[in-house]
Structure 1
Amino acid sequence: MTSQTFAAELQWRPATATDLAFARDLTCQNMLRYYIQHDLLWQDEAFDVAWAGRDNRVIVHGDARLGFVSLSRDARALYIRELHIVEAFRGQGAGSWVFDQVLALAGLERRPALRLTVFENNPAKKLYSRKGLAVVGRDECFLRMQCDIACANR
């Protein structure tokens, strides 16, 4: 199966309470090395509190959960707070597909920008750059990235 075929079969659905443990565990697996490298403390409780206040969507291929995206909003932007793909499904276009869905959502909602924060040494920043986000600031070990929605939809 090609990456394009695989991505064409992806869907996202609203997360339910039963998806919380999957999302927390996946985030911890994917991010713990960055927390350790940057001397930050991972806390399950903090993840759970943040999850409760966000628009969370699970990425699925058939019955398989491949990852999730966690979003928040304000008048200035749509924010990707978390975007995680199960390691076995990386490199097949799933992250790019999710990003395209979020970008389209930002346009539909008429948000001025799409924003996210990424660890400065996280390879995902390459995907974000390819998708049109630019670094607009730095905070300690993080890059703040943004895409102007009006420019992205031309």
Structure 2
Amino acid sequence: MAFHLRAATEQDLSFARALTHEAMNRYYVQNQLIWSNAGFDTAWAGRENWLICRDDHTLGFISLSRDGGALYIRELHLLQAYRGQGAGTWVLEQIALKAQALGLLRLTVFKTNLARRLYQRMGFSIVGEEDGFWRMERVCRVR
């Protein structure tokens, strides 16, 4: 039962949008932010999106973007039933390998989101903050 990534398609958009809204709504409320389906859809269209799978089950998804200096994790969400089973650790290892060409892997996380602990265990450091967010990064070099 190995994890794998599958390139997401337009047919996966509604799953990813609903999962993100469910996972993030409380943080939006805490930080007085407004969720926008249209905003999510616009961002989805401009990103590299992958489904996180095990066998024929979809566990979650990850959304990436990049610039000349870093690979950015924009979204990383797992269905509640699949959290705590190693999928988050596995996908972060895979994305760190993808980031080696650029050297840096970056993300932003709500300060109250416990996922920050996973990111820190996986080698991310807090490098800044904005309002209710931590900016984090991990150096990814070819060994």
Alignment of 1:72-111 (within 5 A): 72-107=65-100, 110-111=101-102
Cα-Cα RMSD: 0.9
TM superposition shift of 1:60: 1.0
In 1, the alpha carbon distance for the partners of 2:96 and 2:85 equals 19
Does residue 67 (structure 1) correspond to residue 60 (structure 2)? The answer is yes
Alignment of 1:1-150 (within 5 A): 6=1, 9-107=2-100, 110-150=101-141
In 2, the alpha carbon distance for the partners of 1:40 and 1:134 equals 25
Query: TM-score, normalising length from structure 2?
Result: 0.97
Alignment length (residue pairs):
143
In 2, the alpha carbon distance for the partners of 1:24 and 1:63 equals 20
Unaligned runs of 5+ in 1: 1-5
Query: TM-score, normalising length from structure 1?
Result: 0.90
Q: Which runs of 4+ in 1 moved over 2 A?
A: none
What are the Cα deviations for residues 12-61 of structure 1, in whole angstroms up to 9, with x where unaligned? 01001110000000000000000001110000000000000000000111
Secondary structure at the residue paired with 2:33? coil
What are the Cα deviations for residues 55-86 of structure 1, in whole angstroms up to 9, with x where unaligned? 00001112211000000001110000000000
For residue 3 of structure 1, what is the aligned residue in structure 2? none
In 2, the alpha carbon distance for the partners of 1:94 and 1:86 equals 11
TM superposition shift of 1:106: 0.9
In 2, the alpha carbon distance for the partners of 1:58 and 1:105 equals 15
TM superposition shift of 1:112: 2.0
What are the Cα deviations for residues 116-137 of structure 1, in whole angstroms up to 9, with x where unaligned? 0000010000010011110000
In 2, the alpha carbon distance for the partners of 1:12 and 1:113 equals 21
Identity in percent: 50
Greater helix share, structure number: 1
In 2, the alpha carbon distance for the partners of 1:123 and 1:43 equals 23
Secondary structure at the residue paired with 1:29? helix
